[in-house]
Every structure is written in structure tokens, then in C-alpha cells.
Amino acid sequence: MGCGRKAVRRFRALLLTVLAAALAFRAAPLCVRAQDMPPHLIQTVTDKDIYEGMLALGYLITPVTERSDCAVAYENVKNCIVRVQMGDAHGSGIVWEISEDGIVIATNRHVLDYWQDQTGFVHFPQGYDVDAALLGVSGQYDVGFLKVDAGQFEYRELQTLCYARTDEDVFRRLVRGELVFLPDIGSPGEDGRWYEGTLEEPRMFIEDFNADMVYCHAKAVRGMSGSGIFDARGYLIAMTTGGTEQNEAAGIPLPDLMAAYAEVEEETERGTGGRN
């Protein structure tokens, strides 16, 4: 948070400087000769400054639509879903958080059963393939997290990244019959794809997972474990975890994802992160 406040102050200072210069120029009398004018103030802004400003002001969070529209919402969120590649196997992941030093990817714990820091990598839909390290896995939920070092990107590349918008109040207001959609980055096709469906239960105990899950009628195919389930405005409501040939999909509810991340953060601070 300290770095974010510094970035905001730096941007505010730049804005005030430019504004003051503009007002001074407008207030100058017309009779002043050009040779009497002070030299023009030139203020440079680097790609790093722009990225830090975007990050501090929340411009890297995926936008949401005012009205329900899955097609538009998908365009807004598609770049926050990544592919987690482990040799010939792959799963999906959600860009969960972006900070100045790294990008946190959320995925299913069972996806990370195959993960090795030395050989695994994360593919971003913008075309970036980068290394990642295991941050930790939850002992309670089928959720784990990877950390991507931001130093692998140019600052202009970092400006194109985004992370999923989450809101527990939105989750609590979910009702049966709402439209939802599931992005699919892992299947063949350069542009990716998505599957629309309807929410059946915001929380339902499913014995196969031995947990309360978001249950919906929507298509989910192999490789989508760790992807997101979004409402029709673009809010993340769950992590895709399983599906059936009858177009049933189940996902880990948003509050449980948030609890899993808090658990992993606490373990990391204690120095006991990794595979719990």
C-alpha cells in the first residue's frame, strides 16, 4: 500500500505541476515578449510511472457492465484468465492480484499436483509465456496460488494485464436462474471461447467434491479447471472446478477463494508456504 500511495502522490504532483504551468501561461499578459518568457517546463513520464499509476488507481481491475450482457462481459474479462502449462498437461488460472512486484494466479489445488517450478509456465492470452513459482495451496479448499515475478515483463506489457473483479456483496445477491459464463482459454483456438449458462445454486453441497459449490448448467471441458465462473456483468463468482457431459458445471464459491488466499498469505508470512 505504501508504494501505491507514493505513486498516487507522484501523479498528483505531476498533475498540479502541469496545471500550474498551464494557468501561469494563460494568466501571462499578451504584451510580454517571447524572449522574456521563461523556458518551457518539460515533464517526462516513464512507462514505469504509467504502470504504477494505473495499478494505484485500480485501472488494472477488469471492468463490469451496467447491464447483463455475457458477450460484452467476456471481452472485459478474457485477459484475466490464463493457461497453467505443465509439460503436456494444462489447466487454467485466474489473475487474482497484481502488485508492483508480481502477479498472483489462482487455480485449483488439483491442477498444481502436476506443477514444478522448473518446468511449468503460465501463458497469458496477450501472448506472454512466463515462469512462475508455487506460492502455496490451501489445506481446506481445492485452491492454490502461483506467483509470477513482474520483472519478466516490460512495463508496457504490464500495462496490458488485468485481474478479476471480486465483490462478496455481489455474490451474496446471486439468485437462481441468473446468466453466467465460463471462459475457456485452454482449448484450441487463438481467440479463446466462452460458454454461457444459468446459475442453479449459489451454494450446494456436492458429494463428489465433498464441499459446497456453485452449481450451474453450463459447458465445462477438460483443461478448464482453475478458470472462472462470471456473472453476466463480469464479476467473478467462482472458480471452475468440474463439469459433466450433461453440461453441468461446479465451481468453488468466491468467499471460499478469498478464504483460501488469506490462508496461503498467512502461511507465507510464517514461512511455511508451498505444498501444505
CATH of the domain at 88: 2.40.10.10
138 has pLDDT over 70: yes
The range of the structural domain enclosing residue 150 comes to 79-164
Is residue 139 domain-shared with residue 158, that is, in the same domain? yes
Report pLDDT for 7.
44
Report pLDDT for 25.
36
Is residue 160 domain-shared with residue 235, that is, in the same domain? no
In contact, 217 and 247? CB cutoff 8 Å: yes
For the segment 162-183, the average pLDDT, to the nearest whole number, is 98
Domain membership of residue 273 (yes or no) is no
Report pLDDT for 31.
45
Is residue 216 domain-shared with residue 148, that is, in the same domain? no
Separation of alpha carbons 129 and 123, rounded Å:
4
- Tell me the average pLDDT of the chain: 86
In terms of DSSP H, where are the helices of 28-64? 47-56
How many domains does the structure of the chain reveal? Answer: 3
Instruction: Give the Å distances, CA to CA, from 91 to 199, 207, 221, 256.
Output: 23, 23, 11, 20
Residues 231, 235, 240: CA angle, nearest 5 degrees: 65
Is residue 154 domain-shared with residue 104, that is, in the same domain? yes
Strand 211-217, strand 248-253: pairing = antiparallel
Of 135, 164, 193, the residue at which a domain comes to its end is: 164
Separation of alpha carbons 115 and 105, rounded Å:
13
In contact, 76 and 116? CB cutoff 8 Å: no
In contact, 143 and 265? CB cutoff 8 Å: no
Of 116, 144, 164, the residue at which a domain comes to its end is: 164
Give the percent of the chain with pLDDT over 70: 81
For the segment 3-11, the average pLDDT, to the nearest whole number, is 43
Is residue 179 domain-shared with residue 142, that is, in the same domain? no
Domain membership of residue 245 (yes or no) is yes
Is residue 174 domain-shared with residue 253, that is, in the same domain? yes
Domain membership of residue 219 (yes or no) is yes
Is residue 100 domain-shared with residue 23, that is, in the same domain? no
Q: Is 16 helix (H, G, I), strand (E, B) or coil?
A: helix
More confident residue, 26 or 69: 69
Domain membership of residue 202 (yes or no) is yes
Determine which of 11-15, 107-111, 190-194, 265-269 has the lowest per-residue pLDDT on average. Answer: 11-15
Q: Quick one: pLDDT band at residue 42, thresholds 50, 70, 90?
A: low
Domain membership of residue 30 (yes or no) is yes
Is residue 133 domain-shared with residue 174, that is, in the same domain? no
Report pLDDT for 191.
63
**pLDDT tens readout for residues 214-256:** 999 999 999 999 999 999 999 999 999 999 999 999 999 999 9
Is residue 145 domain-shared with residue 159, that is, in the same domain? yes
Domain membership of residue 232 (yes or no) is yes
45 has pLDDT over 70: yes
Q: Report CA 186 to chain centroid distance, whole Å.
A: 17
Domain membership of residue 31 (yes or no) is yes
Is residue 175 domain-shared with residue 147, that is, in the same domain? no
Domain membership of residue 60 (yes or no) is no
In contact, 180 and 198? CB cutoff 8 Å: yes
Cell digits of residue 269: 508470512
Is residue 97 domain-shared with residue 154, that is, in the same domain? yes
Separation of alpha carbons 250 and 2, rounded Å:
38
Cell digits of residue 59: 485501472
More confident residue, 143 or 39: 143
Report pLDDT for 192.
75
Is residue 93 domain-shared with residue 125, that is, in the same domain? yes
